[in-house]
Structure 1
Amino acid sequence: MRVAIVTESFLPQVNGVTNTVRHVVDRLIQTGHQPLVVAPGPGLSDYRGAPVVRVRSMGLPGYKSFSLGLPDPAVERALAEFRPDVVHLASPILLGAVGLRAARRLDLPTVAVYQTDIAGFARQYGLHAEAAVARWVGRVHRRSTRTLAPSRSSRAQLAEMGVHDVHLWRRGVSLDLFGPDRRLPELHSRWATRQDKVVVGYVGRLAAEKQVRRLTEVAKVPGVRLVLVGDGPERPWLERHLPDAKFTGMLRGDDLARAFASLDVFVHPGEAETFCQTVQEAQASGVPVVAPASGGPLDLVDPGRTGLLYDPSDPRSLGRAVTSLVADPALRGRLATAALAEVQGRTWAGVVDQLVTQHYGAVALGRAGTPLAA
C-alpha cells in the first residue's frame, strides 16, 4: 500500500505528533508498504528511504522553534506524483487542511488522526480563539473520510465539534526501549542528593500547554527532589521559580529511557492531553504515575491500581497525590507493578498494523467499518 502522511510536525522537531508519525513510517517500511511524508519546515528530505517533502512554514508566535505549515502547491503536486492509496492526516490543523483539500481534489481517501487539543493549546497561550479553532478543527475532521481518536475523552471533544463517526486508535509504547531494567542507581543517587529524598520527575516539553508551572506545587512537597526532563519556552520561568530542581534538557533514546526508569514518581500536570504518551512510557519504565483526571490519562490510569489521578480544578490535589506516594514506598511499588503489566501488550507494531488493516484498508476499499463503541 502507498501511504502519504501529511503531518503538522516531523523531525527535527520532537513531540508527540512527530514520534507517532515516525513509528508509523518505521512499521510501514518494515512490513513492505511505501510511505511518503509531507512536513513543514527545514529538515531531512529522506527518512529511512521514505521521501520527505518539505513545504513552506513559519514559526509559531511565542514558540519560534515550532514550525507551522503554510498553504503550498507542493502538497498537491507531491500527492499527485506519488499517487497514494490513502492520505494520512497527522493531527491536521493548517498543513493538514491543505493536504485534505488536495486529497479531495485528487479523489483520494483520507484518515485524519486527532492528536492535539489545539483549542486548549490556544487557550493556554491566551490567544482568545478557542471557539474559532474548534470550529476549524471540526470542519477538517468532518470532511475527512475517517477520523481516529486516541481516547474516549478526545472522542467527546470531537463530538462537541460535530464529528460523530470516530474510531478509536491508541498509541503504542517502545517496550524494547523503556523498562525497569534501565534504572541507574547512581543516576538516582546523584539526582536525590540525599538518601531520604524521593525523586519526582516530569518528562516533556516545558511549554504553557503542558501547564508545567503547576510543578511548583510538587516542589513544595517535603522530601521531594524535582527533576525536569525536556526543554521549551517555559524553562526560564521554571528555573527562576524552581531553583532546587534539576533540569536535564531534552533527552532521547537510551538516555531518556534511563532517566524515566531512574525516577521514583512521574508527574504530568497538563489537563489538555488527548492521550499523554509519557504516562505510558513511565508505566513501561516501572514508575508510578500521577496525572490529571482529565483527557487521555483517564484511559491510561486506573486510580489506585495503575496510578493516581488528581483533580486539576483543586489547587491542592496534585500536592496531596504526590505526598501520598512520597510517604508510601509500598504503594509506589504496587502501582508500578500493576501499570507495567497493563502496558505489556501495547507495542507499536501491533498498533500500526491495526491502523493499516482496520483503517487504511477500510477507506481504501470504500468500506464504512465499525465506529467506536460507547
Structure 2
Amino acid sequence: MRIVDVCAFYSDRGGGVKTYVRHKMLAGPKEGHEVIILAPAAEAGIEVINDHARIEFVRARRFPLDGRYHYFHDEAALHARLDALRPDLVEASTPWASATMVANWRGSAPRSLIMHADPLGNYAYRWFRALAPRPVIDRGFDWFWRHLRRMDARFDHIVCASDDLAARLVAGGLHHVVTNHMGVQPGIFSPALRDPDLRRRMLASCGLPEDAVLLLGAGRHAPEKRWPMIIDAATASGFARPIGLVIAGDGRARASVQRAAAGNPHVRLIAPITDRATFATLLASADALVHGSESETFCMIAAEARASGIPMFLPDSGAAADHLVPGAGYHYAAAQGASLVEQLNHFVADGPAKHLSVARAAAAGTRTMDAHFSDLFALYAIHGRAMAA
C-alpha cells in the first residue's frame, strides 16, 4: 500500500509530530507499505529515508505565528502531486485548510484525518473556560463543529490518539471516529537510564542540594502549556521542601516564561534537547514530570515519562490525563495552579521514593509507536479490502 501523508505540521525543528512522522517512515516499510510525506517548506526538495519512505518538501508560505512551520496554500499544486503519486490511501494531519484540500481532491483513494491538533481545546476552551461552560463555548464555535462534520462526511476515518478527544468528537456529531492510542519510540526510554550524578548536577544548577525534589517540564513555550502556572506552583510548594524545576523548551511565549522564572533561583530554563538518548537520560533522572496542558491530543512527553519510570503531575482533563499511573504522582484540576500546589505538597509529604518505585514497575507496560502503527495499518488494510470488494 502506498500511503501519502499530507502533513501540514511537519518541521525539521518540530516536536511530537516530527517524532511520529519519522517513526512512521520506519514502521510502514517493515509491514510492506510505502510511506511518502508531503510537507510544506521554504524550498522544494526530497529527503530519502529508505527505499520505501521519503519526505517530499513542497514550496509553501511561512506560517505567521510560528516561524518553524509553513502551510500549504496552492490547492491545485497539491492535487497535481497527489495525482502523480497515485496513493492507495491519503492522510491529512490537521483539521484546517489542508484537510479541506485533501477532501477536495478528485482521486478515488480512501482518506484518513489524523487529529494531531485539537483547536477547540488549544484555543476556544482555554480562552473562555473562565467565562462559560463548555457546551456554551461549543455553541459559540458551531462554525468549527460544522467544519468538522463536513470533514467527517468526506473522510473514511477520523483517527484520535486519546479517548477524551474521540468522545468529544462523537458527541459533536462525527461518525467516522477511530481511537488508536499512540505510543513511545521503542528502545529509547527506560528507568535504567536514571543517572544520580546528572540529577545532582541539575539540582546544583537550580542552587539546591541533592536531597531536594527535581521536577522536569518539557515542551514548547506556548500559552497552552501553562509554564508560568507551573513555575508559580513549584515556587509556592518549594517553601515546604526545596524544589528544583528544570524546563526544556522554547517558543513564541518565551518572554512570559522567562518573566515567571526570573524571581526564583531554583527554576532553570534550558534549550530543547534534540538528541533523543540525552533527553531520555534526563527524563529518567528527574523525580517527576510536571505538565500543564489540558488540550493535548496524545501527550507524547507524558508517555515518554511513563516509559522512563518517573511519577507525573498531569491535568485531570485532556489526553495527558490518560498516562498517569495510580500511585505515581497525581492529577490536579486543569488550569488550576492552586490544585497543582496542593498535589505537589502531597508528593513532598509522601517523599518521591514510593512514587518512583510504582512508576518504575509500570514503565515496561507503556504502549509503543510500533503497536500504534501496526493497528493503524491493519485498519487501512481492512478498509482497502472492503473498497476492493
| Native 8 Å contact 2:90 2:110 kept in 1 | yes
Checking the alignment, whether the CA contact within 8 Å between 2:306 and 2:323 is kept in structure 1 is no
Between structures 1 and 2, the one with greater helix share: 2
1:32 CA drift (Å): 3.0
Question: Displacement, 1:367?
Answer: 6.3
For residue 251 of structure 1, the aligned residue among 273, 288, 291 is 273
Q: 1:221 aligns with which of 224, 234, 237?
A: 237
**Structure 1 residue 183 corresponds to structure 2 residue 208:** no
Task: Kindly indicate whether the alpha-carbon contact (under 8 Å) linking 2:10 and 2:69 is maintained by their aligned counterparts in 1.
Answer: no
Deviation at 1:124, TM superposition (A): 7.6
Post-superposition shift, 1:174?
1.8
The residue that corresponds to 1:372 in the other structure is: none
Distance 1:355 1:221, change over 3 A: same
RMSD: 2.4
Structure 1 residue 225: Cα displacement: 0.5
Name the CA distance, whole Å, in 1 between partners of 2:141 and 2:222: 18
The 1:42/1:61 distance shift into structure 2, 3 A limit, reads closer
**Among 343, 355, 358, the residue aligned to 2:376:** 355
The one-letter code matched in structure 2 to 1:229 is A
Question: Is 2:212 aligned against 1:197?
Answer: yes
Identity among equivalent pairs (%): 27
CA–CA distance in structure 1, aligned partners of residues 87 and 186 of structure 2 = 31
Partner of 1:231: helix, strand, or coil? coil
Q: Which runs of 4+ in 1 moved over 4 A?
A: 124-131
Counterpart Cα distance in 1 of 2:15 and 2:60 = 17
Tell me the number of residue pairs that the alignment of Structure 1 and Structure 2 aligns: 362
- Report the more deviating stretch, 6-15 or 249-258: 6-15
Is 1:318 matched with 2:340?
yes
| 1:31 positional shift | 3.0
Is the 8 Å Cα contact of residues 215 and 287 (structure 2) preserved in structure 1?
Answer: yes
Cα contact 1:122–1:130 (8 A) shared by 2 = no
**Structure 1 gaps, min length 5:** 369-374
Once the two structures are superposed, residues 110-159 of structure 1 have per-residue CA deviations (whole angstroms, 9 ceiling, x without a partner) of 12212211122233886998543343234223320112111111112212
Indicate yes or no: 2:334 matched with 1:330: no
> Partner of 2:237: helix, strand, or coil?
coil
Given candidates 53, 56, 62, the residue that maps to 1:53 is 56
Deviation, 1:195, is: 2.0
Kindly report which structure 2 residues correspond to 1:1-374, keeping only aligned pairs within 5 A, or say none.
1-42=1-42, 45-49=46-50, 50-102=53-105, 105-123=106-124, 130-193=141-204, 194-215=209-230, 216-222=232-238, 223-243=242-262, 244=265, 245-252=267-274, 253-302=276-325, 304-312=326-334, 314-327=336-349, 328-343=351-366, 346-357=367-378, 359-366=379-386
Deviation readout 1:244-285 (Å, 9 max, x if unpaired): 321221112112112211211101111111211111100111
Distance 2:84 2:235 in 1: 54
Instruction: Give per-residue Cα distances to partners, 1:179-233, cap 9 Å, x unaligned.
Output: 1222222221111121222110111111112222221222322111010011111
Q: Using the alignment, how far apart are the partners of 1:362 and 1:27 within structure 2?
A: 18
Using the TM superposition, name which of 37-46 and 278-287 deviates more. 37-46
Take 1:122 and 1:333, find their aligned partners in 2: how far apart are those partners? 34
Gaps of 5+ in 2: 129-136
Quote the offset at 1:163 in angstroms: 0.7
Q: Deviations over 1:46-77 (max 9, x none)?
A: 14043433335344443333323323322211
Corresponding residue for residue 371 of structure 1: none
